[in-house]
A and B are shown apart, each in its own frame.
Chain A
């Protein structure tokens, strides 16, 4: 009893742990803990969004008027810049006077924005400490940039990652579907029993090869091939990912669509043949339409595999977190992001939680795919009766 509920228990635990950490992201501010952002007390700006902050520090926003202030240009300040304003003697040997220097600096420059650790916040500090919005759902899903280590404010837009994932998976399924379907038709309707008995274990073997080996193969063969063929600076592209994932999705598509085709009632096939149709006509007029839901289940499951695949993609797609514009550009997928970045994060921090939120998205996508497949195959069973 206990052991049979363990799968249910595991799923529930996965949901609890994933979502607890993932949702925690939306209670956090994107500014590094222990740091403050201060402006002059006469500045009217009270709040800045994370994107605005980043643009200010990237100097894409250069005037306070762009964020609701006066028409003066913004003076950027980070702690490294302190030596431009004060000499070492003024700061003191052990930075003991840094706090008062900061107060004076922010007081004297009306257009400053300063980003520094809160331990240097003097008791007599006169400036305004800016409120930065918590990470919002909108920032997360509609943000176009994924730079979780950006300073002063982390950029956590998952749009490029989601698009990258879909992009690579779609490419994979476009490559794998025609091949896989052809093989399924061939194995279930055309090939004789002997060929089938040889091919079946080979397809199983294809499914058994570890993903890291596929990734390695992609890295040493497909990536250089793409680089040479298209004369690119780097061969690690979305196309390389699609090819590798396509190969990996083949066994799923073949096995499931072959099963579906073999389940076509004998009477239907024989009726078609008896009416004078050729075997080929029977295949595309009777068998494929009859088993179309099984075939689509296979295709959807293949997409699901591709979306969740980590190692192979991580090794061949180049991992640039930008919204993909061509199949020949590097892309980064959700699983690859988690795998590449989780090792560098501190337990419980903003970045850590952001990666768990990515895990939640991945979980929901694959759950949706599984339920869809379940729905399709249930309907198929229903139709038969």
Chain B
């Protein structure tokens, strides 16, 4: 009897120790995140002001703002989404609503997974050899957007598929039962219900695309341009590339540090907004659907 109590006590003690270790390690991950964020916010906040985001860089990147880099990133995000969003959503609709389970679906799925696993620098190589050299787009917003679009494609396809799968089958059956065609069912019933989740995916992929550096290194990014891009065949500056060059290979690394902190903060803010927006939308629409 006494022995059993001892064993139980030891078991409890072991469990308590183990749980505390796990809790501590988990909190340390959160701590890492907060260290990174607070460090960049602390250093970058004093740099960011209206002038910083609306002025051109001055004096060899040591003064002035990052306006052209912001504009460049906006162009690239818009360009890549114009390509990836419709293509990705259509692909997901086709996969989820039209193709029957079988070998073809399996292959397409496998290929999408493979595409998602390819390192971003390989996308950069590919974009350079196909868009820049083979198709003669040159270093341009077009080449960069297409490269980034391909990179974002698996994300868009996956989130859209998840969204479509989440639509209850009874909706489809009801619509088909009322005599609607397959396409009518998809476009009038399934898509509107899945729409909020699809948008969430779109926002997340915007967050991802805006921070990618490796794919744009050789397809669009420029160290410094005195003018804003005027067409899709122009080169552009971009926020992540800007942060990379001024923190590693600029001529005045020390003097341009404040600018680097500011740029990093702007990037973090973009990602933060994308994440918050996506989470907010998910919650908001989640509740709305339940209420119905």
Contacts and interface: CB of A to CB of B under 8 A. Distances in A.
A191 B26 contact: yes
Contacts of B279: 201
Interface stretch (B48-56, B189-197, B210-218, B228-236): B210-218
B121 interface: yes
B244 A3 contact: no
A211 interface: yes
Interface in B231-263: 240-241, 243-244, 247-248, 257, 260
B248 A363 contact: no
Given A208-B275, A209-B211, A310-B213, A182 B21 contact: yes
A370 B109 CA distance: 13
Interface stretch (B9-17, B63-71, B173-181): B9-17
A335 B124 CA distance: 11
A112 B4 CA distance: 90
Contacts of B268: 209, 213
A355 B220 CA distance: 19
Contact of A278 (B15, B29, B107): B15
A75 interface: no
Given A3-B87, A311-B213, A202 B115 contact: no
Contacts of A73: none
A343 B221 CA distance: 11
B211 A210 contact: yes
B82 interface: no
A14 B118 contact: yes
A71 B230 CA distance: 67
A7 interface: yes
Interface in A156-196: 178-180, 182-183, 185-187, 190-191
Interface majority SS on A: helix, strand, loop or mixed? helix
Contact of B36 (A6, A187, A217): A217
Contacts, number: 226
B128 to A, nearest CB: 7
A182 B26 contact: yes
Secondary structure at the B interface, as helix, strand, loop or mixed, is helix
B118 to A, nearest CB: 6
Interface in A105-134: none
Query: How big is chain A's contact interface, by range?
Result: 35 or more
Contact of A205 (B99, B154, B157, B272): B272
B130 interface: yes
Given A4-B108, A335-B119, A182 B22 contact: yes
A4 B119 contact: no
A304 B117 contact: yes
Interface string A362-382: 110011011000100000000
A359 interface: yes
Nearest first, the 10 A-B pairs at minimum CB distance are: A210-B211, A308-B119, A182-B25, A280-B15, A3-B90, A8-B111, A4-B91, A370-B117, A186-B26, A310-B214
7 contacts: A6-B91, A183-B29, A212-B211, A213-B243, A216-B247, A311-B214, A359-B125
